[in-house]
Amino acid sequence: MNDNQQGGILISEREPGKTAPDTVLIAEDDPICRRVLQSALQNWGFRVITAEDGLQAWEILRRGDAPDLLILDWVMPGIDGPELCRRIRERRDAIYPYILLVTGKDNTQDVVQGLEAGADDYLSKPFDPTELRARLQVGKRILALQQELIQAREELRFQANHDALTGVFSRAAVLSLLDRELQRAARSGMPTGILMMDLDHFKTINDTYGHLTGDVVLKEVADRINGAVRSYDCLGRYGGEEFLAILSNCYPGDLRAVAERVRFAVSDTPIGTGTMSLAVTVSVGGIVTSHATPSLESLSAADAMLYEAKRSGGNRVRLGPFDLDTTKVRS
């Protein structure tokens, strides 16, 4: 096992071949106590980061990769344990770190003071190793539960903002993004592009091959469109077989380039449905605006262009009219 010194911070690496352990920060100014704690935790499979005082611990905790399981000594130079607890809790991070406060103080008032400062648990020196290990296991269980809750929350948030079939933004979410983008564009004076896209003859696909096949086609089309727009553009399912893309900082030349990429991405290769391959095309209509245009008015203008593309036979791009320099491209 190797100990690496990085900027005054001791990081103990795990032994080769072992599974990746949990990481614990030990903030302890007594070198003997710090070494005893470090050795015990390493034997239990933890990766250990040590700090020699409260200030060094605070610097570690302000990094983006700081541990979530902390053992803090009460009495330390610079910042003591209770004050470090208070600073940690005042940050109100998305991830709640579990804090075990270790000290020679053992009267009830001290315990209350430490817990009120933000500690989750309290261990008196000299501590029993089995008790320390048990308390750390409690902290691990709480942090694991927290991670499960965060993951569940993120899944619910994704479901609320995304279309269940295609995985792109839902209608409500993409319209909300459009409102915000148009407001931002009005403030900055930078143009915003809007593309409305509609699959050609999609009703025939559903009627002929069934809705399950239609779902496969919709999902593949959404994936192809998502790959054709720029990485920072927003794509949503506007309804049925219709999609809406919002392109920030988009000049007419950019809009045309993206629109043609979308059309080509959908129509270039037939879509495999498991039992057959279907040739699918899409009609695209779009506009560019740099004014404080209401979203409904902008959508109506883009939809009018989409209607022109459909009326021209489908598998077409129709854009404009523009009030900007149509020769400028920023793709």
Give the H/E segment covering residue 147.
Answer: helix 129-161
**Mean pLDDT score, 254-271:** 97
Tokens of 148: 């499960």
What are the phi and psi torsion angles at 265 (to 5°)? -60, -35
Homologous superfamily assigned to 3-159:
Response regulator (3.40.50.2300)
Catalytic annotation on 297?
A: no
Kindly give the interhelix angle for 211-228 and 202-209, rounded to the nearest 10 degrees.
140
User: Is the distance from CB of 87 to CB of 117 less than 8 angstroms?
Assistant: no
Note the pLDDT tens digit of each residue in 281-299. 999 999 998 766 677 888 9
**Mean pLDDT score, 122-151:** 91
Note the pLDDT tens digit of each residue in 197-215. 999 999 999 999 999 999 9
User: Is the distance from CB of 28 to CB of 39 less than 8 angstroms?
Assistant: no
Rg value, the chain, Cα: 29
Amino acid 293: pLDDT: 67
| pLDDT tier at 64, thresholds 50, 70, 90 | confident
C-alpha span between 97 and 142 (Å, rounded): 10
Amino acid 331: pLDDT: 40
User: Is the distance from CB of 290 to CB of 185 less than 8 angstroms?
Assistant: yes
* Number of residues assigned to the chain: 331
Structural domain spans, the chain: 3-159, 171-319
Cα 240 to Cα 30, 99, 202, 205, 243, distances in angstroms? 67, 51, 9, 13, 8
CATH architecture, range 171-319: 2-Layer Sandwich (3.30)
DSSP strand pairing (282-289 vs 317-319): parallel
Question: Is residue 151 classed exposed, middle or buried when 0-12, 13-18 and 19+ CB atoms within 10 A define those classes?
Answer: exposed
**Mean pLDDT score, 219-239:** 96
Amino acid 292: pLDDT: 63
Torsion sign, CA atoms 7, 9, 15, 20: negative
User: Is the distance from CB of 121 to CB of 101 less than 8 angstroms?
Assistant: yes
CB atoms within 10 A of CB 55: 14
Among 148, 241, 260, 308, the one annotated catalytic = 241
User: Of 262, 187, 273, 259, whose CA–CA distance to 226 is shortest?
Assistant: 262
**Mean pLDDT score, 10-14:** 38
C-alpha span between 115 and 176 (Å, rounded): 43
Tokens 């071949």 belong to 17
CB atoms within 10 A of CB 279: 11
User: Is the distance from CB of 75 to CB of 81 less than 8 angstroms?
Assistant: yes
